[in-house]
């Protein structure tokens, strides 16, 4: 299982929200490159980079940060937030993203999202399947839908999706444990899907529980920034479990 640290961006700064609420924002570092280099120095290989400004605006905003991080680290960066058009996708690829996560676009413009899957393949396009009460949430989690998350993911797996990042919005940023049931249900519905768990990780016990459940990866954000886990612990765990 991969440990995937997260950097969420607002105005180019490293922040975290609580339950996706932009009004509950905390700035942790004004230099995302410094944070990313710390991750890399600890032996971590991947980075989940989220453009929260972009998610709200419906277009990529913080592309310069992506370009800097991709150019000055060797991290495998998956980028999400505001990728809503072919032009957004081109910008993100040009700036060095290795994978792109699309959530809102998969709901609001499925034809375009499917064209990306066809053109770039399921190894590069990740399905964002964030959920509140098991219903898909989009637009930086500010919009709810009536889509049952398990059916939503299953339909896209049939169209070529190989990876999904799924956040239980109700748990995100609360440090109260991940939604193991959500991921168990996804595994049962979509065997073979590479599931990346996100939201709620409070410490190493949660990471160990997800590893036992054999998900592909786990995104860790607030637990790092609040000192609940150390980068040394995470780096060692990844070496032992990948």
What is the arithmetic mean of pLDDT over 90-113? 95
pLDDT of amino acid 17: 76
Euclidean distance between the first and final Cα of the chain, in Å? 5
Rounded to an integer, what distance in angstroms lies between the CA atom of residue 203 and that of residue 172? 14
pLDDT at 88 over 80: yes
Higher pLDDT, 142 or 155: 155
Could you tell me what percent of the chain has a pLDDT over 90? 76
Hey, where are the domains in the chain?
2-241
Residue 51: closest CA among 59, 40, 41: 59
Distance CA 214, CA 217 (A): 8
Specify the 3-state DSSP secondary structure of 177. coil
Q: Give the fold, CATH level 3, of 2-241.
A: TIM Barrel (3.20.20)
SS3 165: strand
Confidence of residue 104 (pLDDT cuts 50, 70, 90): confident
> Residue 125 pLDDT more than 60?
yes
Residues acting as catalytic residues: 8, 130
Q: Which of 17-26, 153-162, 180-189 has the lowest mean pLDDT?
A: 17-26
Q: What is the pLDDT of residues 9-50, one digit of tens each?
A: 999 999 977 766 777 778 888 899 999 999 999 999 999 999
Percent with pLDDT over 70 in the chain: 95
Q: Is 7 exposed, middle or buried (0-12, 13-18, 19+ CB in 10 A)?
A: buried
pTM for this predicted structure: 0.93
């Amino acid at each position: 299982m991969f440990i995937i640290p997260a950097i969420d961006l607002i105005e180019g700064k490293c922040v975290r929200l609580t339950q996706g609420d932009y009004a509950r924002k905390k700035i942790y570092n004004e230099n995302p490159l410094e944070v990313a280099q710390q991750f890399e120095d600890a032996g971590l290989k991947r980075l989940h980079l989220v453009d929260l400004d972009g998610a709200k605006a419906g277009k990529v905003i913080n592309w310069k940060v992506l370009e800097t991080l991709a150019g000055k680290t060797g991290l495998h960066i998956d980028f999400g937030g505001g990728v809503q058009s072919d032009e957004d996708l081109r910008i993100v690829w040009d700036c060095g993203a290795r994978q792109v996560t699309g959530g809102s676009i998969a709901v609001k413009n499925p034809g375009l999202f499917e064209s990306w899957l066809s053109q770039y393949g399921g190894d590069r396009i990740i399905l964002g399947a964030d959920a509140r009460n098991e219903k898909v949430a989009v637009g930086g989690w500010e919009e709810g839908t009536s889509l049952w998350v398990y059916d939503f993911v299953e339909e896209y797996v049939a169209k070529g999706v190989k990876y999904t990042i799924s956040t239980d919005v109700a748990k995100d940023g609360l440090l109260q444990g991940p939604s193991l049931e959500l991921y168990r249900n996804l595994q049962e519905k979509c065997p073979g899907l590479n599931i990346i768990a996100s939201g709620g990780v409070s410490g190493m016990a949660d990471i160990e529980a997800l590893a036992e459940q054999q998900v592909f990866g786990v995104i860790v954000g607030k637990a790092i920034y609040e000192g609940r886990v150390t980068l040394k612990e995470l780096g060692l765990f990844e070496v032992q479990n990948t």
